[in-house]
Amino acid sequence: MAVRPIIAVTPNYDYGIETASIKNLYNEGVIEAGGVPVVVPYSTNEEVLECIITASDGLLITGGPDVDAKYFGEYNTPVTGSILPGRDILEIFLIKKAMEQRKPVFGICRGIQILNVALGGTLYQDIKTQLPDKALGEHSQKAPRWYPYHDIYIQPDSKVYMSFGNRSCVRVNTFHHQAVKDIAPGFFVTSCAQDGIIESIEHRDHEFVVGVQWHPEDMWIKDRSFLNLFKMFIESSCK
């Protein structure tokens, strides 16, 4: 029997009830793609976190609330949503360590945002208020989470492009008000929405360091093509 790679998966946290949790669809996506998900404890202990990333074969950064703007040199605005201080700390640390150890990293929704910030990029804190003159589409859909809501336009010769069978336009779901602004060094943009909002980024110098703004974990049961990025992530984590 083939050995499945161990994937560290970051959790969400509720300070009101002091409880870490994770939407199980992330775990199911990793399992279906051939990996073993292990949820990271909600801790800022660097010794513990370094042990976890060293023992893991890959890192999955999940969706969640807003990133504290201090990490990209700005003040939080009145439209900034909830912030989880410990989560920012643990994910930035894990991302940097994973990059140092050349472990595959897959960031989803908040995951693309914190991946970009951790490595030197910036975000729009709120696309509607920071891009008032832009004809924006809706990026917080009022439809079931599995429902494909808007198109993205994909760059050839990218992992996202390959994951969709070399299709240059795909319809995805959308649940965000923050978005990647200036991309971090080493990354390139691999897809955008019709309004120009960045939908995915990839690192040029690592085999698999990919961030996507949509939620493939919510879509793959209805459309198996959305499992392909999970599969590519897991395959890279086996090496």
Cβ neighbors of 144 (< 8 A, separation 6 or more) are none
Among 139, 150, 203, 215, the active-site one is: 215
Question: Is 215 labeled as catalytic in the residue annotation?
Answer: yes
C-alpha span between 19 and 32 (Å, rounded):
26
Task: For residue range 14-69, list pLDDT tens digits in order.
Answer: 999 999 999 999 999 999 999 999 999 999 999 999 999 999 999 999 999 999 99
C-alpha span between 151 and 193 (Å, rounded):
6
Our count of domains for the chain comes to 1
Domain interval for residue 55: 6-237
C-alpha span between 214 and 84 (Å, rounded):
21
Confidence of residue 134 (pLDDT cuts 50, 70, 90): confident
For CA atoms 82, 63, 14, 222, the dihedral sign is positive
Residue 1: per-residue pLDDT: 55
Question: Is 217 labeled as catalytic in the residue annotation?
Answer: yes
Task: For residue range 77-98, list pLDDT tens digits in order.
Answer: 999 999 999 999 999 999 999 9
Cβ neighbors of 169 (< 8 A, separation 6 or more) are 151, 152, 153, 154
Question: Is 177 labeled as catalytic in the residue annotation?
Answer: no
Residue 27: per-residue pLDDT: 98
* 54 domain-assigned: yes
C-alpha span between 234 and 189 (Å, rounded):
22
Among 109, 192, 199, 202, the active-site one is: 109
Does position 2 have pLDDT exceeding 70, yes or no?
Answer: no
CATH number, domain of 151, equals 3.40.50.880
* 58 domain-assigned: yes
In this prediction, residues 111-131 reach a mean pLDDT of 96
Q: Give the rounded percent of residues in the chain with a pLDDT score beyond 70.
A: 99
Task: For residue range 150-166, list pLDDT tens digits in order.
Answer: 999 999 999 999 999 99
Considering the entire predicted model, what is its pTM? 0.96
Among 91, 199, 202, 217, the active-site one is: 217
* 83 domain-assigned: yes
* 188 domain-assigned: yes
- Pair 200, 190: CB distance under 8 Å: yes
Task: For residue range 113-122, list pLDDT tens digits in order.
Answer: 999 999 999 9
Using alpha carbons, select from 79, 84, 111 the residue that is nearest to residue 95.
111
* 1 domain-assigned: no
